[in-house]
Amino acid sequence: MEPKYCTTIRHKKFSVADTLTSGQCFRWTEHEGRLCGTAFGRYVEMEQKGDGLTIHGADQSDYETIWRQYLDLDRDYDEISRIVTEKEPRLADSAEYAVGVHILAQEPWEALCSFVISQNNNIPRIRGIVSRLCLLYGESAANAQLAREEADGHAFPTPQALSEVSEETFKQLGCGYRAAYLTELSRRVADGEFDFDYIKNAPIDEARKMLLSLKGVGPKVAECALLYGFGRLECFPVDVWIRRAMETEFVGGTALIGSEYAGVAQQYIFEYIRRHPERFEKKS
DNA sequence: GTCCAGGATCGGA
DNA sequence: TCCGATCATGGA
């Protein structure tokens, strides 16, 4: 597929596969070693060999204006790893393990909506729901015909598009009790009640308060949306897995919470758990 | 059949 | 303020 853009990754430990399959977003699929999907209206396939990254379907302009920021390639994660480990030495294993995972700069609406769907749900099922929403209500990317899975070639639906979907339809698509949340959420956002650019730059507690005013958005979903969709790296989402880790590995709390890169540390912990689930299985 | 998942809401103490 | 029940759904 043309065009394609090749670059050398500065942060050599970066892993595009680990980053895109780390539970931050629910859209990318892997085919023959390529990560395939649509963001910002463009369908691309990403391929990494060592520190070489090829983005099939993107030209230099796309790279500079979209993918470089989306993958957070200009940030020094070695330095962040050092900073968070210094603040919390018990994190050293996780940080070393997961330093290849960057925090994605997703579109705010997609992150917010995806994590409303994620509540009390599991990742495969979340991915299925998101995929169906994209296929049915998301616009086709310009080169969507190249997509290996049809839904991968569709953008995440806009708030306007979802505001026209009935609650009953959301249920039929497997959203369960979250259907009512999606209905109200997309209507309020489509009505312009939320200025995402304002939330992006607002004082963090004000940003939290605004998101928490949405039905279906509690503390965890708000933190995820802020971290993955609004670029607020200090946010620290606590799900059942992180809670278990706090009860075993980080007894007594951690100085990380509230610090500048708490969200990155959280992602390192999550990644560590994800790769060693047997160490964190639910206690009976 | 039971338990669980990147939880939030609600009513009652 | 805090706590338990409840909320759909599909996989283990």
**Is A87 assigned a catalytic role?**
no
Q: Which nucleotide is nearest to A119 (CA to C1')?
A: B7
H or E element at residue A4: strand A4-8
Provide residues 175-214 of A with CB closer than 7 Å to any strand C atom.
Answer: 176-177
Q: Which pLDDT does position A49 carry in this prediction?
A: 98
Q: What local confidence, expressed as pLDDT, does residue A13 receive?
A: 96
Predicted confidence at residue A100, as pLDDT, reads 97
pLDDT higher than 80, residue A281: no
> Could you tell me the pLDDT band of residue A232, with boundaries at 50, 70 and 90?
very high
d(CA A218, C1' B12) / Å: 21
pLDDT tens column, A62-96: 999 999 999 999 999 999 999 999 999 999 999 99
Mean pLDDT, chain A, integer = 96
Which nucleotide is closest to A24, CA to C1'?
B6
- Cα angle A102-A221-A92, degrees, rounded to a multiple of 5: 40
Q: What is the pLDDT of residue A2?
A: 83
Query: Which residues, other chains included, contact A122 with Cβ-Cβ below 8 Å and sequence gap of 6+?
Result: none
Task: For residue range A146-178, list pLDDT tens digits in order.
Answer: 999 999 999 999 999 999 999 999 999 999 999
pLDDT tens track for A9-39:
999 999 999 999 999 999 999 999 999 999 9
Helix (H) or strand (E) holding A56: strand A52-56
Is residue A283's pLDDT more than 70?
no
> What is the side-by-side strand order in the sheet with A42-49?
A4-8, A52-56, A42-49, A34-39, A29-31
Residues with CB under 7 A from strand B: A 22-24, 115, 118-123, 125-126, 177, 212, 214-222, 224, 237-242, 266-267, 270, 282, 284
Q: Taking the C1' atom of B6, which residue's CA lies nearest?
A: A239
pLDDT at A262: 98
Residue A282 has pLDDT above 80, yes or no: no
Residue A16: the pLDDT is: 98
For residue A20, give both structure tokens: 């895109």
In percent, how much of chain A has pLDDT > 90? 93
Q: What pLDDT score was predicted for residue A1?
A: 78
